[in-house]
Structure 1
Amino acid sequence: MTTFELTPAGLVLGVDNRLRPQWATTSQLLQDYYDYEWGRPPKTESEMFERIVLEGFQAGLSWEIVLKKRPAFREAFCDFEVDRIASFGEADVAKLLANPDIIRNQNKIRAAINNAQRVQQLRAETDLITFLQNFAPVAWERPTSLEQAKTKSAESAAMARELRRRGFKFVGETTCFALMEATGMIDNRIVGAAALLDVPDSNGLLQTS
């Protein structure tokens, strides 16, 4: 993608005259994700669970790889319907491990199934979205530069501890922080960066049912 030089805050001015962090300018896929989805709160349990699962699969990899495989993930994981994933057995694990279109990591696949079962247990107390949003900070100061942007916080550490206590897996404090900023629990857009755009009908990043 064609971009201009970095600003002092670490932002890139695109050909569309919008300022974005450098990570969101290296491909059209990442640019669309940043423009239309990053920071938008999920509306349903399935949407939030999808983000938890994908953040877990991203560990050690690039987010662009996950986004490229996202349609295949949605198909393989039943559009992230918690009850269907929670019922997966060994035959389903084997099928997922044989699927070349997703990230074939056995530990992460089993974690997704385990986490779906933990969400089922959570329903006796509250819904998944409300539970996670309770960890959002009361106040959050947006970073003024890329260097100032955090990758974890006291709130993400608290979320990770509680999720692990409840049996969730692949939910470290950095992963939880990424989940929090990606789903709008914190606004971590650099001051001066372009704001979130409304999702056009033709954009396929979000489940907008």
Structure 2
Amino acid sequence: MNRRTLLGLLGSGTAVGVAGCVNVPEPLRSTPTVTDGLQRRVAIIDQNAVPDGHGVRIRAELLDRRITGESTATVRLTTTNEGEPRELSVGTGGCVLLNRERQGSDPAGLWLRRRAGMDQSDDVGPRWVATDLPASPGGFGGYGCAARTYASGESVATDYAVLHDGRVDGYLSSDEYRFEAAVTVGEPSPDSDGSTESFTWGFSMRVKDPD
């Protein structure tokens, strides 16, 4: 795959800057040992509903469910404020819903990388592997993320490329994988009294060999 092809693959996730957020470089490695044809199929098999009372909706959807030598699957996560203006811990850049260690699956094996954070200077595919990942959560760095104020009805969407976690043996093993993150909700400043509420949201994906 050449650079022009890669640029065409990049998603259109929101790119608004957020105070306190730092974008973290996320390099990829190309290891051309897998066929250029259809490698895997991906499906979303389950996702949580946000608990009642928060006025927030989070949705996971697949924009592309096929992994081939030319492109990998893409997951879009969209957070929407369905009530009055409020602060949410879901931002943009390095402060998106799944960031740092939360980009990894349970069980380990998949890694969701922001399309906007993929290295545009390197060729990628036909093997989609996230490399240079820290061995422990502390290795991702200690940058902080400020809460983002959502207007009524506002949504923030982030597109993620589905990659194999390079710390795990094998390659995109057929299995079911879970991703989860804690979300904090609060009143917008300066009206906030400092109190917040939290809930955990997540979804599950299935990876299958092509039929």
TM-score bracket, normalised by the shorter chain, equals: under 0.3
**Larger fraction in strand:** 2
TM-score normalised according to structure 2 size: 0.22
- Structure scoring higher RCO (CA < 8 A, sep ≥ 6) equals 2
TM-score normalised according to structure 1 size: 0.22
